[in-house]
């Protein structure tokens, strides 16, 4: 049996190590954090790398990793792994997304209870020789409203615990149906309603461009002064400076944080506030969770090197011909466009591949589905789990293909329906490599994908472009390009602006009001 050299860089529970050894597939090196050199200096001839959160899988490491085929994160978060750099090199990245969900949920509940009853403060005062009953009077959880931001695996466990404590549980998750939430005993509400009505708010969303700083001073100002916030999700979801200000001004009663925008850290303004409880990212720090992720990662390594199967891959991990990879990326881009323009809650996704794009329709459709789901769940989405996640969310994927394509040598069209907003988008590849968005809801475009796009639909009238440019100019946002499409003179028009800087929500709202836009979306492709 062939031997594959693997490096365990950050330690692995013994039960996982035993699975690797028993398989007979591997020559295993376990790095000693105190005695061994950095992992980046140990990568020669290493084909598989297992890390937790300490080792940075970055360019410095990858440049010494010519033999590396697989990076495994024994846990859910992949913030320490440069996934695009791995993908470019053909390195599969996988994680264990379910191994620590119970531990993370239980830690959130523990922090909520500690926050409600001032447990750390009471403990510290008593050990300091002060019997401070009146200074540590808390609040009951029963009959309080628990608001959950993100009702995925972790959020659902927290919801179950909240109901068991006699709490009324509400949630905001724009990509989950009311029926699916009701099955969990949870009422879906809008984001602002959750902020205004919750007594406790707990966060369970991934960190992405859309969720980064999604709770700042304005959102904290909407909360009850008696409300408390718990974050066991990801640092950066809450603006920590704004939280400190809100706590200092008494806008909310307290907060408990297990995660921070910079980790590891021993210094933060939050640490100086007596109405804040902090822990050093302990969400997954239980013996059971360590065993689960170790077993999961070891079994995934065995399947990859023995069978060529990539389980829980977080980057492109399908058998696609190299010449067709641009079509895969085009499909994923169309899915992201759908999800970011109001169609993320769709129950039907139809993907049609025409012309040269018809070579691998199933892979392109799966890429489109992955893009649709990406960023709307607390689990990583990939080619392995996208279909399962779609079934869990009640999404029906339909795929068709034709060797003929009018107007374009290749065309991928994606139609989403069954949600709050139906939408049709299409894209093509110029010269077989250059992606373009060529249609949105029947409006013909020639749009080059970019990191920051502002897409609007409004009635075409003189002076609109000037209004838009003035507002963006005042906000110091530069317009790099502009695409306009209309069906009739002075009829409805779709306008897409390519921007060098990301405008704030207030800027978009002002533009939308000035041009009386039927819809306006910030799109990041």
Instruction: Give yes or no for a contact between 401 and 360, defined as CB atoms under 8 angstroms apart.
Output: no
- Of 393, 419, 422, the C-alpha closest to 151 is 393
**Among residues 263, 448, 502, 519, which one is catalytic?**
263
Alpha helices by DSSP H, listed for 186-323, are 191-197, 217-222, 240-248, 287-307
Residue given tokens 């704030």 in the structure block: 504
Query: In this structure, what token pair is assigned to residue 177?
Result: 């149906």
- Distant-in-sequence, close-in-space partners of 127: CB < 8 Å, separation ≥ 6: none
Catalytic residue among 73, 234, 401, 423: 234
Q: Which among 5, 1, 39, 52 is positioned nearest to 296, based on CA atoms?
A: 52
Question: First CA to last CA across the chain, in angstroms?
Answer: 44
Counts for the chain of helices (H) and strands (E), in that order: 16, 22
Which segments of 374-410 does DSSP mark as H helices, in order?
386-392
Catalytic residue among 281, 423, 457, 510: 281
Looking up tokens 């969770």 gives 289
Is residue 70 a contact partner of residue 307, using CB atoms and an 8 Å limit?
no
d(CA 302, CA 131): 56
Confirm whether 263 is a catalytic residue. yes
The residues, ordered by sequence, that sit 6+ positions from 12 with a Cβ below 8 Å of its Cβ are 30, 50, 74, 294, 297, 298
Tell me how crowded residue 498 is: count the other CB atoms within 10 A of its CB. Answer: 18
CA distance 56 to 80: 5
Contact in structure between 525 and 449 (CB atoms under 8 Å): yes
> How long, in residues, is the chain?
525
CB neighbour list of residue 11: distance below 8 Å, 6 or more residues apart: 30, 33, 52
Q: Are strands 453-459 and 479-486 parallel, antiparallel or unpaired?
A: unpaired
Residue 69 appears among annotated catalytic residues: no
Q: Are 240 and 267 in contact, with CB atoms under 8 Å apart?
A: no
459 is known as an active-site residue = no
Q: Which residues have a catalytic role annotated?
A: 234, 263, 281
């Amino acid at each position: 049996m062939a031997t594959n050299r693997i490096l365990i860089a950050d330690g692995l529970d013994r039960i996982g190590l035993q699975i690797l050894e028993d398989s007979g597939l591997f020559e295993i090196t376990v790095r000693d954090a105190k005695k061994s050199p950095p992992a980046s200096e140990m990568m020669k001839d290493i084909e598989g790398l297992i890390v937790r959160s300490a080792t940075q899988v970055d360019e410095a490491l990858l440049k010494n990793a010519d033999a590396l085929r697989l990076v495994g994160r024994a846990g859910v978060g992949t913030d320490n792994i440069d996934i695009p750099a791995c993908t470019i090199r053909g390195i599969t990245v996988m994680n264990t997304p379910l191994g620590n969900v119970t531990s993370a949920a239980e830690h959130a509940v523990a922090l909520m209870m500690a926050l409600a009853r001032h447990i750390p403060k009471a403990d510290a005062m008593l050990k300091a020789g002060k019997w401070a009953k009146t200074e540590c009077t808390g609040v009951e959880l029963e009959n309080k409203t628990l608001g959950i931001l993100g009702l995925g695996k972790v959020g659902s466990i927290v919801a179950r615990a909240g109901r068991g404590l006699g709490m009324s549980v509400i949630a905001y998750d724009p990509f989950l149906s009311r029926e699916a939430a009701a099955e969990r005993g949870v009422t879906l509400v809008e984001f602002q309603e959750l902020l205004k009505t919750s007594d406790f708010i707990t966060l369970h969303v991934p960190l992405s461009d859309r969720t980064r700083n999604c709770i700042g001073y304005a959102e904290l100002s909407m909360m009850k002064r008696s409300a408390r916030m718990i974050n066991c999700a990801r640092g950066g979801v809450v603006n920590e400076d704004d939280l400190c200000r809100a706590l200092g001004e008494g806008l909310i009663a307290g907060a408990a944080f297990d995660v921070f925008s910079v980790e590891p850290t021993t210094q933060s303004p939050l640490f100086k506030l007596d109405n804040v409880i902090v822990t050093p990212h302990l969400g997954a720090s239980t013996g059971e969770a360590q065993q689960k992720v170790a077993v999961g990662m070891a079994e995934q390594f065995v399947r990859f090197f023995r069978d060529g199967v990539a389980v829980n891959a977080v980057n492109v991990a399908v058998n696609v011909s190299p010449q067709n990879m641009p079509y895969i990326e085009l499909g994923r881009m169309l899915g992201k466009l759908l999800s970011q323009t109001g169609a993320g809650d769709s129950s039907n996704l139809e993907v049609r591949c025409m012309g040269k794009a018809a070579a691998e329709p199933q892979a392109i459709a799966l890429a489109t589905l992955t893009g649709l789901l990406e960023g709307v769940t607390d689990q990583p989405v990939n080619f392995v789990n996208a279909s399962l996640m779609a079934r869990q969310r009640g999404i029906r994927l339909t795929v068709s293909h034709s060797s003929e394509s009018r107007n374009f040598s290749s065309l991928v069209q994606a139609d989403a329906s069954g949600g709050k907003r139906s939408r049709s988008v299409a894209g093509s590849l110029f010269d077989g490599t250059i992606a373009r968005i060529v249609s949105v809801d029947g409006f013909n475009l020639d749009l080059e994908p970019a990191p920051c796009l502002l897409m609007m639909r409004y009635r075409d009238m003189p002076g609109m472009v000037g209004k838009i440019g003035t507002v963006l100019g005042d906000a110091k946002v530069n317009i790099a390009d502009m695409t306009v499409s209309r069906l009739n003179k002075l009829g409805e028009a779709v306008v897409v602006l390519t921007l060098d800087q990301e405008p704030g929500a207030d800027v978009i709202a002002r533009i939308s009001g000035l041009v009386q836009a039927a819809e306006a979306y910030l799109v990041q492709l």
